[in-house]
Structure 1
Amino acid sequence: MTTPTGLILGLDIGTSSTKGVLVDLGGHIVATATRAHEPSRPHPGQVEMDADVWWREFGEIARELTESASAAILAVGVSGMGPCVLLTDEEFHPLRPAILYGVDTRAGQQIERLNEKLGAEAILQRCGSMLSSQAAGPKLAWIAEHEPQVWERARHLFMPASWLAFNLTGAYVLDHQSASQTTPLYDTLALDWYAPWADQLRGSIELPTLKWPGDAAGTVTRAAAAETGLPEGIPVIVGTIDAWTEAVSVGAQHPGDLMLMYGTTLFLVNTSATRCLHPALWGTVGAFEGTYNFAAGMATSGAITAWLKNLFGDVDYPVLLAEAAASPPGANGLLMLPYFAGERTPINDPDARGVIVGLTLSHTRGDLYRAALEATAFGIRHNIEQMRAAGATIDRIVAVGGGTQGGLWTQIVSDVTGLVQEITTTSIGASFGAAFLAAGLVGATPLGGTPLGATSIEAWNPVSHRITPNALTTERYDALFASYLQLYPQTKALAHELAEVQRGS
């Protein structure tokens, strides 16, 4: 047998953009393309997106990349934000915009009712996670209660990656990792849908067939080939949620690894060979069979810096980063809570709100920008400490995402946590990880059975450098972190009152 030659298309549907990448079988990026988009927020706490955007942008990017390709496209990798809830009718037409992941906090009442009915501890033990805004199950219950005309017609459940896989291949599938975030529908002990609870929540929805993210969903159909410009008959992976393909993209899927994904929101994924449980974190199955994850997520991170940039007006990020770097650790006496869109882990409070303490007339925009970076770093440390308290092993941290560029943010995180971070050569993220998984379908990586000249993700994307904490700065941040932990309980009641006012207006 000879080693195949050609290109792999990887594509990821993110919160603020769709990114595509063409990669050769050695992991070299040949071309990239991006389409920006924004979710809609019809009411406070509600975040949605039209699934037609996902497929349209896939087609645009696929044509842009393949028309300039110098070799044949061999396979397609798909990835997307999640867990999301996209419902379609019997003919697979979307019935409403997709409800997004944990940033959508509408289903609080449904969470309370399901906990009372099924038992919060029973849910944790079987599903690996407590119910929270991250769980897809309560959002199904919300639609059933608030949109009965939609619910009566609902027959299928999709997430961004599975929606792309369906439109490309016609296969109605979902990966185990994504399914494990539909709590309480999925059993992380049996690795299957949990019928006693799923049947109570799914109505007339036929649950999709379960596969692993790197498995083949099918091959590109003639109709999909005509719409996208892709070759008919090439394989497409099932795909999974973007944070997990991000982890794959930087080789952070081994037991003891922790991936930090710096983006609009911030995500942490720790991998182990056994289940770990903690009521404040998300226990899921891994991207690969035989692995499990502790996952955590912050509702805002890069979103805060983008908000500040908009407030400051005509100023570029490099200028803000330079001004923040000139501000000393502690931002000249500022402390911020990064809960500008509520918070996911570890407090799981959709009514938490952002707080800035210590403002004076002498503070600059550089101080504010640094305080925002430090706030996300404190949130990361809070989650890491919760993971370790629950028995997680963290031997290695790998950072990925746009926020790794520039150096200041990652240095602050290492200084706050006291931990080394590895940065790989390629930080493009989930689309690159999806391409690596798809390369396994043609034997170019060890994921596709018998490898043909197979290479590992470490060969595709080696570590380029490490961020080492400054011991003196870490000592200063230790004291600030103690204050950070006090700030939320001291302002919680008032934040909840204001959140109620915001809902009313």
Structure 2
Amino acid sequence: MFYIGIDLGTSAVKLLLMDSEGKIVNIVSREYPLYFPHPGWSEQKPQDWYEQTILGIEELIQDVDKEQVAGISFGGQMHGLVILDEDDNVIRPAILWNDGRTGEETEYLNNVIGREKLSAYTANIAFAGFTAPKLLWVKNREPENFARIAKIMLPKDYIAYKLTGVHCTDVSDASGMLLFDVKNRRWSEEMCDICGIRVGQLAKCYESYEAVGTLLPQVSAQLGLSPSVKVAAGAGDNAAAAVGTGTVGDNMCNISLGTSGTVFISSKQFGVDRYNALHSFAHADGSYHLMGCMLSAASCNKWWMDEIIGTKDYAAQQQPIEKLGENHVFFLPYLMGERSPHNDPEARAVFIGMSMDTTRADMTQAVLEGVAFALRDSLEVAKSLGIELKSTKICGGGAKSPLWKKIVANVLNLRVEVPESEEGPSMGGAMLAAVACGEYASVEEIAAKVVKVVETVEPEAELVAKYEERYQQFKRIYPACKPLFR
């Protein structure tokens, strides 16, 4: 049988076709517009998502036996606000995860309602990108639109609705709305009251691997697929990517060295750190996860190479770097402020420790090490909750650098494993579809069968000790610089 994974991204929808054994049969990508109606705003039209998804599915399955397609599921951009009226028409363009208009609403939630209450209700505090502040913004600035709301959904859930006619979401994506009681895996009535909505306006919440319905007759006819094709709830992009890398079960970790960086830790136990430095979300495997997000990861190296040095040959700039753990130059990687663990939008990047004999290679090394040290900051928070890790998967553009992988392994003192497939959320979506269709009994079972490691980088005791000393110095720099950022 075949399974379709749909990764609804910010710039494009990426579709993947997987067979029962986990082999990738085909991949298709289709772009759609992004709108910036005011500085700092970011919107998209849900109809654009759906149109390109349908065209993408048609292209994806054109050369296979359509009768063999059994299931569809999703990974999707998180936090976006999609609102429908009583006739299921989209009321206004979706407000996306990277939209920055909700500063006042976020401050109201954190400082007037209070972080302690938010954490008690949802296991998280408010961020400008989350969904609840967006709802409050619509309530405050577009009251006529707010009055028309019959259903509140997330981006990928609009596609699921258009395919099945079911208003649905999943626990992992719902966790990022600030409307969801993560510990008890249900909507928070207290948060609904705060936002002036009813629980009934929110979509029904499923586990990520549960089928929400089957294809509507008109959709199955259009695509040439059986009306019995199951559609599973799917997951937020980070949770779906974690499924795709096998980061499921207890005490498993995945590090993403993309434009931004994430430390994703799956856990059977629910946990919230004292300062809400990490996001505490429900996971797509039926358990929980902690996630640290840094806003600039591989983008730090891109900035340093492209804008400062003026080169595209990243490997050549890394070649002279030999003495790991002995660099006296440090770099704070906060080019766009920082989320985890500092939650400080005013933080900025800093080089410190240069002398007359500092070289370009020292500076390049400091950038790579600074990102690794910042990832460790999030790992230290997880350790404070009793989580013990021995290894981590790694993915993203930065993971293509052998040097950077070695630095990460030794700064974090973890075995670093590179998975065979880098398809992330779309692969995770296809795997969730296979579980929903009964091909596999659980998410953990399919991950064990499908995810293969092709490279391993082991930490070295001598280097680990050197980097431990450097990290203890690094973590004192941000507190010292913090007053200067104001």
The answer to whether the superposition gives a TM-score over 0.5 is yes
| Residue aligning to 2:281 | 284
Identical residues among aligned pairs (%):
27
Structure 1 residues 262 and 157: CA distance shift in structure 2, 3 A: farther
1:346 aligns with 2:341: yes
Which amino acid in 1 is paired with 2:80?
C
Shift of 1:347: 0.7
In the superposition, relative to structure 1, how do residues 160 and 73 fare at CA in structure 2: closer, same or farther (>3 Å)?
same
Q: 1:399 to 1:368 in 2, by over 3 A?
A: same
Whichever residue aligns with residue 181 of structure 1, its letter is: G
What is the Cα deviation at residue 426 of structure 1? 1.7
Letter of the aligned partner of 1:262 in structure 2?
L
Q: Which residue of 1 aligns with 2:107?
A: 112
Structure 2 residue aligned with 1:469: 459
State whether structure 2 residue 93 is matched by structure 1 residue 92. Answer: no
Instruction: Measure the CA separation in 2 of the matches of 1:166 and 1:127.
Output: 25
When structure 1 is superposed on structure 2, of 73-82 and 323-332 the one drifting more is 323-332
Residue in structure 1 matching 2:289, options 286, 293, 301: 293
Contact 2:122 / 2:181 at 8 angstroms: preserved in 1? yes
Q: Is 1:459 paired with 2:449?
A: yes
Is 1:154 the equivalent of 2:149?
yes
TM-aligned CA deviation for residue 175 of structure 1: 0.7
Residue 74 of structure 2 corresponds to residue 78 of structure 1: yes
Contact 2:248/2:447 (<8 A) preserved: no
Where does residue 425 of structure 2 map in the other structure?
430
Moved more, 373-382 or 15-24: 15-24
Paired AA for residue 197 in structure 1: M
Q: Is the 8 A contact 1:60 1:228 kept in 2?
A: no
2:318 corresponding residue in structure 1: 324
Q: 1:57 is matched with which residue: 49, 52, 58?
A: 52
Aligned-partner Cα distance in 1 for 2:406–2:258: 16
- Paired position in structure 1 for 2:373: 378
More displaced stretch, 86-95 vs 335-344:
86-95
After superposition, the Cα gap between the structure-2 partners of 1:196 and 1:351, relative to the gap in structure 1 and judged at 3 Å, is same
Q: Distance in 2 between matches of 1:254 and 1:189?
A: 17
Q: Where in structure 2 are there 5+ consecutive unaligned residues?
A: none
Q: 2:298 touches 2:397 (CA, 8 Å); kept in 1? A: no
Distance 1:375 1:126 in 2: 34
How far is 1:364 from its partner? 7.5
Distance 1:36 1:152, change over 3 A: same
Say if 2:175 is the partner of 1:180: yes
Q: Which runs of 5+ in 1 are unaligned?
A: 1-5, 449-453, 497-505
Q: Which of residues 183, 186, 193 in structure 1 aligns to 2:187?
A: 193
TM-score, structure 1 as length reference: 0.85
1:133 shift after superposition: 3.5
Shift in Å at residue 238 of structure 1? 0.8
Tell me the equivalent position of 2:474: 484
> How far 1:155 moved relative to its partner?
2.8
Tell me by how many angstroms 1:104 deviates.
4.1
Asked whether the equivalents of residues 105 and 350 of structure 1 are also in contact (C-alpha less than 8 Å), the reply is no
Q: Is the 8 A contact 2:74 2:240 kept in 1?
A: no
User: Partner letter of residue 464 of structure 2?
Assistant: T
Tell me the CA shift for residue 210 of structure 1: 1.0
TM-fit CA distance, 1:241 = 0.4
Distance change >3 Å, CA 455–CA 110, structure 1 → 2:
closer
Contact 1:133 1:350 in 2 (8 A): no
- Structure 1 letter corresponding to 2:428: G
**1:276-324: CA deviation from partner (whole Å, max 9, x where unpaired):** 11121222222233x22222211222333444555379854xx213322
Q: Could you say if the C-alpha distance between residues 43 and 356 of structure 1 is closer, same or farther in structure 2, counting changes exceeding 3 Å?
A: farther
What aligned pairs does 1:112-131 form with structure 2 within 5 A after superposition?
112-131=107-126
1:408 aligned residue: 403
Q: What is the CA distance between 1:368 and its match in structure 2?
A: 5.4
Tell me the equivalent position of 1:24: 19
Q: Match for 1:295: what amino acid?
A: M
1:171 to 162, 166, 189: 166
Give secondary structure in 1 for the equivalent of 2:26.
strand
Shift of 1:435: 0.5
- Contact preservation (8 Å) 1:50, 1:98: yes
Shift of 1:370: 4.2
Selected match of 2:206 from 197, 202, 211: 211
> Does the aligned pair in 2 maintain the 1:250–1:458 contact within 8 Å?
no
How far did 1:385 drift? 0.3
Match for 1:224 among 219, 222, 242? 219
Contact 1:320 / 1:369 at 8 angstroms: preserved in 2?
Answer: no
State the SS of the aligned residue for 2:254: strand
Instruction: Measure the CA separation in 1 of the matches of 2:303 and 2:13.
Output: 21
Task: Show the counterpart of 1:143.
Answer: 138
CA contact (8 A) 2:12 2:30 kept: yes
Deviation per CA, 1:355-380, whole angstroms, max 9, x where unpaired? 34457899787665544332221111
For 1:25-59, what per-residue CA distance to the aligned partner results, in whole angstroms no more than 9, with x for missing partners?
00111111234568555566544444344323322
Question: What's the offset of the Cα at 1:195?
Answer: 1.6
How big is each residue's C-alpha offset from its partner over 1:384-434, in whole Å with a ceiling of 9 and x where there is no partner?
A: 001111333334422234443343332221122121122222222111111
CA distance in 2, matches of 1:345, 1:364: 30
Between 1:196-205 and 1:460-469, the stretch displaced more is 196-205
Quick one: which amino acid aligns to residue 282 of structure 2? V
What is the distance in 2 between the residues matched to 1:479 and 1:15? 40
Within the alignment, does 1:265 sit opposite 2:260 as a pair? yes
Please list, as runs of the form range in 1=range in 2, the aligned pairs for 1:32-71 lying within 5 A after superposition: 32-35=27-30, 46-69=41-64
Partners of 2:471 and 2:228 in 1: how far apart? 54
Of 192-201 and 297-306, deviating more is 297-306
Q: Output the CA distance in 1 between the equivalents of 2:359 and 2:159.
A: 45
* Counterpart-to-counterpart distance in 1, 2:217 and 2:231: 14
The alignment yields a C-alpha RMSD, in angstroms, of: 3.1
Give the number of aligned pairs: 481
Asked if 1 retains the 8 angstrom alpha-carbon contact of 2:280 and 2:288, the reply is yes
Aligned counterparts of 1:359 and 1:57: Cα–Cα separation in 2: 50
- Range moving further from structure 2, 394-403 or 60-69: 394-403
CA distance in 1, matches of 2:135, 2:418: 38
